[in-house]
Homo-oligomer: A and B are copies of this chain.
Amino acid sequence: MNIGQAAEASGVSAKMIRYYESIGLIPKTVRTEAGYRVYSDKDVHTLRFIRRARDLGFSVEQIADLVSLWQDRGRASKDVKRVALEHVETLERKIAELQEMAGTLKHLARTCHGDGRPDCPIIEELASDAGSVTSRPPPKFGTLGKISVRE
């Protein structure tokens, strides 16, 4: 099977399959004489595993752990559980951070007329001289990076 079919079957784009190969997440495939990558059903299975883990928000690094645990038949389930629960914690920290942003904004928006007049508590809060706009200001040297909410 060529890369396009493997992509179709696994839900991982051809571009990403090549990328995963380049960073060593998946091994280099067999090639045809012409240099085309060739995939087996087993490879597709692995790719699907990876896609599911991505859908759950695991980083490529964590996925590498998960894949090797998956392929280690003697693994201890606690090792898998640990990876999963650590990720849950990360997710929950992010959720809390986003919720604080959304909460602050909703509160400000509630107090804003939202009509044709110029006075607006939202702008005023952003422009205020006081410390921080969030209740717990993001620690300058904290462990949490900026949250990305790009679409």
Q: Are A118 and B53 in contact (CB under 8 A)?
A: no
Tell whether, in the assembled complex, residue B150 and residue A76 are in contact, meaning their CB atoms are under 8 Å apart.
no
> Would you give the shortest CB distance from A50 to chain B, in whole angstroms?
9
Which residues from chain B contact A101 at a C-beta distance below 8 Å?
A: 55-57, 91
Report chain B residues within 8 Å CB of A120.
75, 77, 80-81
* B87 and A105 within 8 A (CB): yes
Are B108 and A84 touching (Cβ within 8 A)?
yes
Interface centre among A77, A101, A137 (most CB of B within 10 A): A77
Of the four ranges (under 10, 10 to 19, 20 to 34, 35 or more), the interface on chain A belongs to 35 or more
A145 within 8 A of partner (CB): yes
A145 and B138 form a contact (CB under 8 A): no
Within the complex, the shortest CB–CB distance from A33 to chain B, in Å, comes to 32
Contacts of A150 in B (CB 8 A): 59, 145, 148
Closest to A50 in B: B126
Q: Please tell me if A30 contacts chain B, counting CB pairs below 8 Å.
A: no
Within 8 A of B (CB), among A84-128: 84-85, 87-88, 90-92, 94-95, 98-99, 101-102, 104-106, 108-109, 112-120, 122-123, 125-127
A34 within 8 A of B: no
The 9 closest A-B CB pairs, nearest first, are A77-B120, A148-B148, A81-B114, A52-B133, A91-B102, A78-B114, A57-B101, A80-B120, A76-B116
